[in-house]
Amino acid sequence: MFFLIVLLSLSLCIIWRYLKSKDKTEPPALSGWLPLIGHGKRFFINGFEFYRSFEKISEECLRKGGVVTLYLGFNKVYCVSDPDDCLTVMNMCLEKSMMIKFAKQFLGNGLFTADVHRWQTSRKLLNPAFNQKILDSFIDIFNNKARELANIFATEIGKPFDHQISLRTKNLETICATSFDVHDSESRNILNQYLPLLATLVIKLSQRLQCFWLHNDFIYSLSSLKRETDEIVKKTKVLCSTMIKKNRIMRLNRASENDATGKPKKFIDLILDLSEETDCFTDEQIREESDTVVVGGHDTSASTLTFAFTLLGSHPHAQQKLYQEIIRVCGTSDKDVEKQDLSKLVYTEAVLKETLRLYPIALLLPRYIDRDVKLKNYTLKANSDCFVMANGLHRHAIWGEDAEQFRPERWLDKDTLPDAKYYAAFGLGRRSCIGRAYALMSMKIVVVHVLRRFSISSDVSKMEVSLSIVSRPERGHSILLKRR
């Protein structure tokens, strides 16, 4: 009896809040609202349906003028896909929403999850780690790892295979090789343990996101999911801390040997320097930023390249045009892609940008609305969460009547291309991704090494995408390679 009274009371409270919020300044509610759970049924589903659910939310959001309201139990979440309204939210509200902060359990106050004050300080200090001089010093690593990937692909010629597996492994090796000194068997063993733990963590965080009742910290603290996640986080912290400790020792050895090679510093060297010269980074914060760089770098690029190769295999004209550019700029031999080549790979970059327009890895860009935000037609109320819908924004009418189609050429026509500020593949506004140039540079080099050696066949119509924190191909994305 007591349980029924509590349930009824909660239902009445939610209905009252729902009705109270329905004024003319508030965005319209998403269809399918239910008492007590709101739109929670859209979340408590598997990864494939989760992705499709947000596609439907984006479609409805576009039909209703670019802004709708989503209810998850007691929590109200605004969904925005109108281009100008998206920019307004992202520039006015820099604080990440509670759902991004679920990742604090693992990433702490790293750049991705940090509060605004910490983010501003860390971003300014870490920017030098991603300047062009540093990135140029990584070209040899990018080429070597891309060539190793192509050699793995060569063993799969003549049979359909899941290329995402090798891409994830090689991208993790690449990000670690450019962030840490990784050259011995012990370091490689650490990486081999780290990768599956990261994959499991993403699944665990996604499970919390989908179970709206676990958004409450107290309820989550009682769940088996938290205990399981804590155990995995503990293991990843040990592995990352071990890698950082190894790099500290190597730095001391180099210093004692008066190493003056003049080689640009890797991420770990720069952040360790900062920790010694300032009070900005404790050992725990070094680990948090290191984990953030690794998590943010390897899986996103791997998924993007998986999408890109599947799309190219389904669009022979685009693939041929890309191949011709590669041969013209880089030649037919297996030589390295050089610094001066990268700016000439215009169509290659267009393919990657178009891939991310259709399949943004960060499907949702969550923000906390810390003040009333006036949009074109509505007002978002303070103390609410907001999802800027990257997939809805990227399929808005500003992209033309063919917004649903894969057409890299759109990036070559400046007269019809929307303003770059409306492109959300690497975030929007002031808190965009620090690793944008790194990602494009490394992915271009992978594309060159693969397309120069192989032609690709696939069928993107069979591809199914899942959403577990980030979007990624899950089924039907296999490719068939033929040697050129």
Q: Which residues pair with 386 in a beta bridge?
A: 78, 367
pLDDT over 80 at 455, yes or no: yes
183 pLDDT band (50/70/90 cuts)?
low
pLDDT of residue 200: 86
CB atoms within 10 A of CB 422: 17
pLDDT of residue 25: 78
pLDDT of residue 394: 95
Q: Which of 112-116, 255-259, 419-423 has the lowest mean pLDDT?
A: 255-259
- DSSP string over 237-304: HHHHHHHHHHHHHHHHHHHHTT----PPPPHHHHHHHHHHHSSS--HHHHHHHHHHHHHHHHHHHHHH
pLDDT of residue 2: 44
CB atoms within 10 A of CB 250: 17
In angstroms, rounded to a whole number, what is the distance separating the alpha carbons of residues 364 and 250?
Answer: 40
Mean pLDDT of the chain: 85
Exposure string of 372-389, with b = 16+ CB inside 10 Å and e = fewer, is ebebeebebbeebbbbbb
In angstroms, rounded to a whole number, what is the distance separating the alpha carbons of residues 318 and 307?
Answer: 14
In angstroms, rounded to a whole number, what is the distance separating the alpha carbons of residues 450 and 483?
Answer: 10
pLDDT over 90 at 241, yes or no: no
Greater pLDDT, 182 or 107: 107
Q: Which of 137-141, 204-208, 396-400 has the lowest mean pLDDT?
A: 204-208
With contact defined as beta carbons under 8 Å apart, do 252 and 72 qualify?
no
pLDDT over 70 at 34, yes or no: yes
| Highest averaged pLDDT of the listed ranges 93-102, 116-125, 174-183, 336-345 | 336-345
CA distances from 143 to 54, 299, 435 (A): 37, 19, 18
In angstroms, rounded to a whole number, what is the distance separating the alpha carbons of residues 471 and 372?
Answer: 30
pLDDT of residue 52: 86
pLDDT over 90 at 326, yes or no: yes
Greater pLDDT, 218 or 315: 315
Greater pLDDT, 353 or 216: 353
pLDDT of residue 459: 96
Q: Which of 196-210, 225-239, 324-338 has the lowest mean pLDDT?
A: 196-210
Nearest to 409 by CA among 329, 347, 483, 325: 347
pLDDT of residue 254: 66
Tokens of 210: 């989908």
% of the chain beyond a pLDDT of 70: 89
| Highest averaged pLDDT of the listed ranges 56-70, 194-208, 340-354 | 340-354
Nearest to 431 by CA among 96, 106, 78, 80: 96
pLDDT of residue 3: 47
Nearest to 444 by CA among 335, 344, 314: 344
Q: Which pTM was predicted?
A: 0.89
CA of residue 401 relative to chain centroid, distance: 27
14 pLDDT band (50/70/90 cuts)?
low
Residue length of the chain: 484
CA-based torsion, 3, 9, 12, 17: positive or negative: negative
In angstroms, rounded to a whole number, what is the distance separating the alpha carbons of residues 178 and 35?
Answer: 51
Tokens of 345: 């790979």
433 is in an annotated binding site: yes
How confident is the model over 458-470, as pLDDT tens digits? 999 999 998 877 8
134 pLDDT band (50/70/90 cuts)?
confident
pLDDT of residue 31: 86
53 pLDDT band (50/70/90 cuts)?
confident
CB-based burial label for 229 (10 Å; 0-12, 13-18, 19+): buried
Greater pLDDT, 257 or 54: 54
pLDDT over 50 at 350, yes or no: yes
Cα of first residue to Cα of last residue in the chain, in angstroms, is 73
Q: Which of 5-14, 68-77, 176-185 has the lowest mean pLDDT?
A: 5-14
Give me the CATH topology for the region 2-483.
Cytochrome p450 (1.10.630)
With contact defined as beta carbons under 8 Å apart, do 179 and 266 qualify?
yes
How confident is the model over 365-402, as pLDDT tens digits? 999 999 999 999 999 999 999 999 999 999 999 999 99
In angstroms, rounded to a whole number, what is the distance separating the alpha carbons of residues 85 and 378?
Answer: 10
CB atoms within 10 A of CB 16: 10
- Mean pLDDT over residues 188-195, rounded? 77
pLDDT of residue 311: 98
